Amino acid sequence: MYCQVLGSAAGGGFPQWNCNCPNCDGLRRGSIRASARTQSSITVSDDRLNWVLINASPDVLQQIRNFPPLQPGRSLRDTGIRAIVLMDAQVDHTTGLFMLREHREPLQIWCTEPVREDLTRGNPIFNLLEHYCRVSWNSLPLRAEGFEIPGVAGLRFTALPLSSKAPPYSPHRDDPQPGDNVGLLITNARNDKRLFYAPGLGRMEPHVWQAMQQADCVLVDGTLWTEDEMIRLGASSKLSRDMGHLPQTGPGGMIEWLDQLPKPTRRVLIHINNTNRILDEDSEEREVLASHAIEVAYDGLCIEL
């Protein structure tokens, strides 16, 4: 299995266009050692030819340019993307669909029924795409046996419901539905190696923890360092968990959970908010992660399993 991190930042990217927090200002001025990041998305393949795009970031065109296998150039109009899996209906995971509207065939999209409803009624991206390439919707099942995607037979996908909120425009924003948000366990059918991917993880639940323990690599929510990070900076009035993200530190935080995984498990944080000090490669927070054998994802990171 080949997994390419296309984008590793949370919504808004890094630096965020209107933010002058110490990280964003420091990157612009060159006063911190850090790398710019686009908004979170990965792509996976079993043969390096046929790829599944997982979430369609607003930065998808830049991400395709940065990763040539997604544009193999075999014909006048071509793409290496065989299908798109949407893990939720959030703006930073779906807006990129607009940028793929020139496709010559309907976009093969896998998502849950609640996400399809959000993208048909609340934020009608699917309706708009009917005027362009159109959408071929495939129901993403929340079943233990998982599912396969045609053209990528060497990989098996299992979707797990996560406790989090639907987007503000969702018809069921205040009435959470199983499938509003999912994590993915992706299995290499040839060697049984597993990757667990969850860029948004607000609460650790037994079925999620079981999937993480089964994985050879976990690529999980690294949004905020502390529960009150956004409040202390004056950037928001919400706590980390209120926004659907486990903070890295504190009781029940992500570091505490990752420490309990089997020693060989590779631990990588993704979906990193622009305010999170782990973006500064010389920060104390980065040293803490290193001491726990936890990596920080970056655009262009390749994971092979």
Q: In the structure, what pLDDT confidence band is assigned to residue 217 with cuts at 50, 70 and 90?
A: very high
Q: In the structure, what pLDDT confidence band is assigned to residue 2 with cuts at 50, 70 and 90?
A: very high
Q: In the structure, what pLDDT confidence band is assigned to residue 237 with cuts at 50, 70 and 90?
A: confident
CA angle 220, 224, 227 (to 5 degrees): 120
Q: What is the pLDDT of residue 145?
A: 86
DSSP code string of 237-257: S--TGGGT---SSSTT-HHHH
pLDDT in tens, 138-187: 999 998 889 999 999 899 999 999 987 789 999 888 888 999 999 999 99
Q: What is the pLDDT of residue 163?
A: 85
Sheet bearing 266-270, strands edge to edge: 155-161, 182-188, 194-198, 217-221, 266-270, 294-296
Chain mean pLDDT for the chain: 96
pLDDT higher than threshold 80 for residue 21: yes
pLDDT higher than threshold 90 for residue 244: no
Question: How large a percentage of the chain has pLDDT more than 90?
Answer: 89
Ordered alpha helix ranges (H), the chain: 22-29, 60-66, 91-94, 96-99, 113-117, 125-129, 206-214, 229-233, 254-258, 284-291
Q: What is the pLDDT of residue 83?
A: 98
pLDDT higher than threshold 80 for residue 28: yes
Domain of residue 120, CATH code:
3.60.15.10
Question: Is the whole-model pTM more than 0.95?
Answer: yes
Mean pLDDT for the stretch of residues 229-256: 91
Q: What is the pLDDT of residue 126?
A: 98
Mean pLDDT for the stretch of residues 21-43: 98
pLDDT in tens, 278-301: 999 999 999 999 999 999 999 999
pLDDT in tens, 80-135: 999 999 999 999 999 999 999 999 999 999 999 999 999 999 999 999 999 999 99
Indicate the burial class of 204 (C-beta count within 10 angstroms; 0-12, 13-18, 19 or more): middle
- Domain count across the chain: 1
Q: In the structure, what pLDDT confidence band is assigned to residue 240 with cuts at 50, 70 and 90?
A: confident
Q: What tokens appear for 168 in the block?
A: 């503000």
Range(s) of the domain holding residue 159: 2-304
Q: What is the pLDDT of residue 174?
A: 82
Q: In the structure, what pLDDT confidence band is assigned to residue 200 with cuts at 50, 70 and 90?
A: very high
Least confident of 13-17, 25-29, 200-204: 200-204
Q: In the structure, what pLDDT confidence band is assigned to residue 215 with cuts at 50, 70 and 90?
A: very high
